[in-house]
Structure 1
Amino acid sequence: MRGLKSLRPSATLIRHRLEEIFMNKMVLIAAVIGALAIGGGAAVYFTSMAPSGLQAPVADTRAFAYVEVPTVVANFGFQGGMRYLQVTVNLQTRDSDSAKPMDENAPLIQGEMLMLMQDLDFEIVRTVHGKRAFIKQVDASIRALFDNPEDPFELEKVVLTGFVV
């Protein structure tokens, strides 16, 4: 029996072991609380110190205005015959001050489109890619026509509304 008594842990040994486990848990809890405090502080710092220029842009809620440009017709020599191309576009803007000069200068825009159409390759312009490239050229040409730093001009986009070959 004497050998069995010595295998039993003493009360002091049990108490020390429990204190050790308790201290380990306390250290772990303190580390978790510290990490949360540091993370929360960093979150507050980075959200409150962000420059105001990085905020999400505000959506433009003004209604669209569309300016119709008269239809433009051009002819092409293609595979020994004559082909015609008829294009109609509308100009999309949200600024009524920009819509007025677009409407008043529709013949000028129409003339620019006609000049651009004369340089088109008939095979290419028949494709979707060719049409998109042509509309980009029209957009750039219109922006160049109305480029005036003293009188800002707003053109959202050129909308292709008719295309007949």
Structure 2
Amino acid sequence: MADNEEENNNEEAAKPKSKLMLIIIIAVVVILAGGGGAAYFLLSGSDEGGDASVETEEPVQKPAIYFDLKPAFVVNYQWKGRQRYVQISISVMTRDENVVETLQAHMPLVRNNLVMILGAQDFEVLRTPEGKEAVRESVLEEVQRILTEEMGEPGIEKVLFTNFVMQ
């Protein structure tokens, strides 16, 4: 009987030791896995870090410069036997001061070509958002064409209608 009690005590003492040993083994495995993952991340991240330094060497985009083509464009056209008018205020967006200077120098040419484009539009088309977008694209292409001829680059990123009134 004394032997049974001694075996029970040994088994009960072995259970906490085995639980403790299991917890220690799991903790060691988790720490090693975490360390291995961190080492992989840091070592593979150094390659990407080299790419990031190359990206920072690229030129930073200059801030946008907005230039208003003043005064607003007022164009008349016929629609169903009636005289109609459209008044459009136009601004252009660039990132280069030289583009603004070139636009100012060639403003008569720019205004003439834009009046021709705006005057050729159909009243029904201009009433739709798609029609306005198509006119905006036409104006952008024309201004870019003029700037390409005069300074060798399009220079303008966007054309913005800041006011659009139809009558």
TM-score normalised to the size of structure 2? 0.74
Question: How far off is 1:44 after superposition?
Answer: 2.0
The amino acid of 1:124's aligned partner reads V
- C-alpha distance in 1 between matches for 2:45 and 2:153: 35
Larger helix fraction of residues: 2
Question: How far off is 1:9 after superposition?
Answer: 5.2
Relative to structure 1, is the Cα distance of residues 45 and 131 closer, same or farther in structure 2, using a 3 angstrom cutoff?
A: farther
Residues 35-46 of structure 1 correspond to what in structure 2 (within 5 A)?
35-46=33-44
- C-alpha distance in 2 between matches for 1:119 and 1:45: 63
Segments of structure 1 that go 5 or more residues without pairing to the other structure are none
TM-score normalised to the size of structure 1? 0.74
1:101-132 deviation line (CA, Å, top 9, x unaligned): 11111222222322322442211212344323
Aligned to 1:27: 25
1:40-65 deviation line (CA, Å, top 9, x unaligned): 2233234332123566x886464624
- C-alpha distance in 2 between matches for 1:144 and 1:60: 23
- C-alpha distance in 2 between matches for 1:80 and 1:19: 102
How many residue pairs get aligned? The number is 161
- C-alpha distance in 2 between matches for 1:144 and 1:43: 50
Relative to structure 1, is the Cα distance of residues 45 and 107 closer, same or farther in structure 2, using a 3 angstrom cutoff?
A: farther
1:115-153 deviation line (CA, Å, top 9, x unaligned): 3224422112123443233212211221222236x8445
RMSD across aligned positions (CA):
3.2
- C-alpha distance in 2 between matches for 1:68 and 1:118: 17
Contact 2:89 2:162 in 1 (8 A): yes
Aligned to 1:143: 144
Relative to structure 1, is the Cα distance of residues 42 and 136 closer, same or farther in structure 2, using a 3 angstrom cutoff?
A: farther
SS in 2 for 1:87: strand
Segments of structure 2 that go 5 or more residues without pairing to the other structure are none
Residues 110-121 of structure 1 correspond to what in structure 2 (within 5 A)?
110-121=111-122
- C-alpha distance in 2 between matches for 1:59 and 1:120: 39
Aligned to 2:164: 163
- C-alpha distance in 2 between matches for 1:152 and 1:54: 25
Aligned to 2:128: 127
Question: How far off is 1:77 after superposition?
Answer: 2.3
